[in-house]
Every structure is written in C-alpha cells, then in structure tokens.
Amino acid sequence: LFLDGSDTVELPIKFTPGDAGCYPCRIVLKSSCDVRVYEIECVVNKHQLDAELEFRTPAYQAVIQNIPISNTSNEDWKLEAVLEGQDFYGPPVINVATGETALYPLTFNPVAEC
C-alpha cells in the first residue's frame, strides 16, 4: 500500500496549558467501519531564567547559598546536580515533592585566594 498524501486529513489541535506539567490526551476517531485511537502526551516546562550567583568569602571559609527549587508539576522530581568549577560542593541528588519547594545547599569553600 502506497500513501501519496491524498488520503490524509489534517486534524488541527489547539493546546493551551495553564502551567508546567504532563498533559496526556486521547483522541478517538470513529466511522461506521473504523475506530482509531491516538494517544498524545505533552510535557510543558517552565520558561527558564538565567541566574548568576556571586560568592565572596575569605580563603578556607565556606559560604552556603540555599537555592530554592519549586515543583509546581503533578509529579515528584528527582534531580541530579552536576557542579562544574573548583571548590563548589552540594548534594548529587535532590528530591522535590509535587507542590513543594526544596532548598539546594550550594557550598563554595575555596582553599586559596581565587
């Protein structure tokens, strides 16, 4: 069977999410001789904002910045942290329950002037 596009029909869908999250959808098309079910899942992320942190502390003294992470989705999050840069420390994994805000403790502990 060769489909040349002449036997296709466009099905426009308008999707307006209210917030970030996972939105499953099922579309059922019925005719007198056929039933077709299409499952669509849309994942919506919040707009990402750029942020900059500046740390000032004497050498050999740590400073901790608690970074709030808010989960407004419908699912719990398990986030992995990848820290790049010398003298930065923090937990490798943080869990944020749905509807909660967790604090990620980012530590800067310089061992020399930098």
Give the residue with greater pLDDT, 78 vs 50.
78
Per-domain residue ranges of the chain: 63-108
In this predicted model, what pLDDT tens digit does every residue of 11-33 receive, in sequence order?
Answer: 888 888 888 888 999 999 899 99
pTM for the complete prediction?
0.55
The answer on pLDDT for 48 being more than 90 is no
1 pLDDT higher than 60: no
Answer whether residue 112 shows pLDDT above 90: no
Per-residue pLDDT at 75 exceeds 80: yes
Per-residue tokens: 7: 């036997």
